[in-house]
Structure 1
Amino acid sequence: MRRDLEDAATHLGRPHDLRFHPMFGGLMAYFDEKPCAWLSAQGLALKLASADVELLLTHEGATPFRNRPDAPPSRGYVIVPPSIRQDTPRFAEWLERSASAAVAHKKRPRPKTRPR
């Protein structure tokens, strides 16, 4: 799954914009410093805008992501079916949609130190 994301980023000509960070027993993928995907035992889930969520869910094998079996389905993350993940040009389009839908985290300003 990680390789699929790396291949899609390379296909877009932006392999260095993709990074991963361990989080809550899975991996959060960031593309252009924006959270775009979640890799877990359930599969690879892309973070998408609501219109794109509905569109991806029309594909066979796509399901809403749940971080626990008893949790409600996520409104923004969808498990990407292998048929899309393994088709690099097609998956790259979905990665681009995810990156355009995600919002970069704002960095907090450093607190000013008081002179001694």
Structure 2
Amino acid sequence: MSMPAALDVMRGELEDAAAHLGKLHDLRFKPMFGGLMAWLDEKPCAWLTPSGLALKLAAADQSALLQLAGASRLIAMPGAAPSRHYIVLPAALSRDTVQLASWLAKHAEGAVSRRSAASSPRRRR
């Protein structure tokens, strides 16, 4: 199965960002719903779609990214609600390896804090 050229370009941009962070070997891709799903450290981190590269971010990091011109919430299919987690990056940001790497690092930090919160024992009253 051949990959559309735009998805191949986005994949290369994400690989460059992961390499910049020293995590290229922790990045995986799998075809999904007409695009590519990317995993970093075995956690979903991005969805590469015809709409653009959508990064999965914690709620605390989303507002800063959404303030950038060209950023928007991913709408996976026509008529679907906007994603609560995935933000489509402006094209200029995804082509900037250093900036993309910093946002990818924010994803990884958010994934670690979500994992820590989920694994912490709950108190009984």
**TM-score, normalising length from structure 2?**
0.79
Q: Which amino acid counterpart does residue 108 of structure 2 have in structure 1?
A: A
> Matches of 2:21 and 2:75 in 1, distance apart?
28
Q: 2:90 aligns with which of 35, 56, 81?
A: 81
Deviation of 1:99 after TM superposition, in Å, equals: 2.0
Which residue in the other structure is 1:2 paired with? 11
Query: Structure 1, residues 2-33: CA drift from partner, whole Å, max 9, x if none?
Result: 11100000101111011101112211100111
> Matches of 2:80 and 2:29 in 1, distance apart?
24
Q: Which amino acid counterpart does residue 100 of structure 1 have in structure 2?
A: E
Q: 1:97 aligns with which of 95, 102, 106?
A: 106
> Matches of 1:84 and 1:24 in 2, distance apart?
24
Percent identical residues: 56
For residue 72 of structure 1, give the secondary structure of its aligned residue in structure 2.
Answer: coil
Contact 2:52-2:91 at 8 Å conserved across structures: no
RMSD: 1.2
> Matches of 1:52 and 1:69 in 2, distance apart?
26
Gaps of 5+ in 1: 105-116
> Matches of 1:51 and 1:101 in 2, distance apart?
9
Count of matched residue pairs: 104
- More RCO (CA 8 Å, sep 6+): 1
Contact 2:72-2:89 at 8 Å conserved across structures: yes
Q: State which structure, 1 or 2, has the greater radius of gyration over its C-alpha atoms.
A: 1
> Matches of 1:55 and 1:46 in 2, distance apart?
13
Q: 2:55 aligns with which of 36, 46, 52?
A: 46
For residue 75 of structure 1, give the secondary structure of its aligned residue in structure 2.
Answer: coil
Query: Structure 1, residues 22-74: CA drift from partner, whole Å, max 9, x if none?
Result: 11221110011110000111111000011211110000000110011211111
Gaps of 5+ in 2: 1-9, 116-125
